[in-house]
Structure 1
Amino acid sequence: MGRGDTAADNAVTNAGDWAGRSLGERTVAWTERDAILYALAVGAKAGELDLVHEERLRTLPTFGLTLAQWGPDALGAAGAFDTSRGLHGAQRLEVLAPLPPSGELTMSAAVEAVWDKGSAAVFEVRVDSACFVARWSIFAPGAGGFGGERGPSGPRTAGESATHTLPVETFPEQAALYRLCGDRHAIHIDPEAARAIGQERPILHGLCTMAASLLVLARGIGAHPADLRAASCRFTAPVVPGDVLELAADVAGGGAAFEVGRAGTPVLTSGLARFGEG
């Protein structure tokens, strides 16, 4: 549970007016059980004891994104965009310090930028803490056309230069398990809610697909997943729990450009990841 302030709901004439606005501060606490549940939800194996056993636990850095989810949620709750139409377009994470197996963390959130894509706006929400900096890109249809800048283009992807090709095996219960980590939106569990957004079945959380892919990438290149130092990607297509995905990565040193697809359809693009030591 978190505690703290939310953004003041002042009058806003267009999406661009949200740029620079504070979304408040919140302190969030977690336990070893939360960190272990998260690791299992994104694909950790029972034999990876330092991810699933409290006596030697190392917390996955992407767990911080579940702790910071209140930031973009606060923007939607403040009325910046239509939450029934808004899409999670991209995610970035910079790791500053390891998350302990259990603890409490104070975070602050703000709208770092708002880009004008014409028919839509993209809100860049930044959440700062002592352990990480996280940035959400929220694509909001119908909120563009306010005369702002279009924003930067995406980074390179692995493409044909891939040095590693690895399977990312999701499992049928994965969305049902991952939602217990905090994001309980009905589209991830209720077939009727999924059909309302044009999906035949409930879909996997984008952040779960990202974390599962990073876990596979770390294993594939011989890095420890808890040694992740930075990661980013764009979300381009939904994943259904149980899908087997293919990760292609161009690895150089401790870093990798990657993309993830399903039967030739990209689901994560413009992926970048960097790992360090201990």
Structure 2
Amino acid sequence: MSERLANAGEWAGRGLGERTVGYAERDAILYALAVGAGAERLDLVFEERLRVLPSFGLTLAQWAPDVLAEAGAFDNRAVHGSQTLEVHEALPRAGELTLAARVGNVWDKGSAAIFEVIVECRQFAATWSIFAPGRGGFGGDRGPGRVPDVERDQPRALALPTAADQAALYRLTGDRHHIHIDPAASARIGQPRPILQGLCTLAAATIPIAEAIGAHPADLTELGGRFSGPVVPGDLLDVRTWADGAFEVRHEGASVIDDGRAVFA
């Protein structure tokens, strides 16, 4: 896509193309390892018993927000604000997916714009929310505000360890942004050490949540969350989860994922 539009709002509803993306069992296994599945989880890391984590589909669809970036919709100050995933059916152990992508809403936040990138296929629908500084002020709708916090019962507390090499491993699934591997690159965004990919943290949280409620992580039907703070590989994270599927991930008392939601069949 070579078209460049001056007004960010003009991107709303535009198609980003269609791609057929193939993968093998080893790709799904590498992904499971990258998001924290241990070698003992033969159902996630052994091809003879393999069930594919639904969030693996997000790595196959990463090309869509990249297409929008390459088209000049936003610059390198843009950050991944939030993510949703709705699962329609299980991903096969290996095969091909035909993915169609488009821009959804483009919200005008004044000093910034928020672009929704929607990717759909038979197996799932996913939406990236991209916060783009400097692209607002075009006179568009501000979009919905954040839902106010609600009174909840005491949450279940879970530990979520991350590995020192986890960002380097997760890069092999497709997100090769330099801030996840190169200290010089992460320093340019104010982080002295490379940070963990937000989608890695989001997916990793589903494994202990599923275990805590007696579900299988591959039975995930709905996932979402807002990326509210950085994680450094090696951090020990705290997950707070509630019976309705809501969850939050924290590090040393500070939120790193909020407005989380993980629902299992």
Q: TM-score, normalization: structure 1?
A: 0.92
Task: Tell me the distance in 1 between the aligned counterparts of 2:121 and 2:263.
Answer: 20
Task: Tell me the distance in 1 between the aligned counterparts of 2:44 and 2:232.
Answer: 25
Task: Tell me the distance in 2 between the aligned counterparts of 1:157 and 1:228.
Answer: 24
The structure 1 residue matched to 2:159, chosen from 164, 167, 180, is: 167
- Give CA-to-partner distance per residue, 1:60-111, whole Å, 9 cap, x none: 00000000000101000010000x1010000000001110110001101000
> Which residue is equivalent to 1:28?
21
Is contact 2:30-2:173 (8 Å) kept? yes
Secondary structure of residue in 2 paired with 1:151: coil
> Which residue is equivalent to 2:73?
80
After TM superposition, list the pairs within 5 Å mapping 1:37-76 onto structure 2. 37-76=30-69
Percent of residue pairs bearing the same amino acid type: 59
> Which residue is equivalent to 2:140?
148
Is contact 1:87-1:139 (8 Å) kept? yes
- Give CA-to-partner distance per residue, 1:94-136, whole Å, 9 cap, x none: 0011101100011010001100111100000000111100100
Instruction: Give the root-mean-square deviation of aligned CA atoms.
Output: 1.3
Is contact 2:4-2:71 (8 Å) kept? no
Whether 1:205 and 2:202 are equivalent positions in the alignment is no
- Give CA-to-partner distance per residue, 1:215-266, whole Å, 9 cap, x none: 12111111100000011100011100000011101113xxx11111111110
Counterpart residue type for residue 218 of structure 2: A
Counterpart residue type for residue 71 of structure 1: A
The structure 1 residue matched to 2:234, chosen from 226, 242, 264, is: 242
Assess, with a 3 A threshold, how the Cα gap between structure 1 residues 111 and 151 changes in structure 2: closer, same or farther: same
Assess, with a 3 A threshold, how the Cα gap between structure 1 residues 257 and 155 changes in structure 2: closer, same or farther: farther
Q: Runs of 5+ in structure 1 lacking a partner?
A: 1-6
Task: Tell me the distance in 2 between the aligned counterparts of 1:162 and 1:76.
Answer: 41
Assess, with a 3 A threshold, how the Cα gap between structure 1 residues 111 and 162 changes in structure 2: closer, same or farther: farther
Assess, with a 3 A threshold, how the Cα gap between structure 1 residues 168 and 159 changes in structure 2: closer, same or farther: farther
Secondary structure of residue in 1 paired with 2:260: strand
Whether 1:271 and 2:257 are equivalent positions in the alignment is no
Counterpart residue type for residue 61 of structure 1: P
Q: TM-score, normalization: structure 2?
A: 0.97
> Which residue is equivalent to 2:89?
97
Secondary structure of residue in 1 paired with 2:91: coil
Task: Tell me the distance in 1 between the aligned counterparts of 2:27 and 2:149.
Answer: 32
Q: Runs of 5+ in structure 2 lacking a partner?
A: none
Is contact 1:158-1:259 (8 Å) kept? no
Whether 1:180 and 2:172 are equivalent positions in the alignment is yes
Is contact 1:154-1:270 (8 Å) kept? no
Residue 196 (structure 1) shift: 1.1
Counterpart residue type for residue 118 of structure 2: R
> Which residue is equivalent to 1:3?
none
Moved over 6 A (4+): 156-159
Q: Which range moves more in the overlay, 215-224 or 90-99?
A: 215-224
Counterpart residue type for residue 27 of structure 1: T
Residue 10 (structure 1) shift: 2.9
Residue 157 (structure 1) shift: 6.2
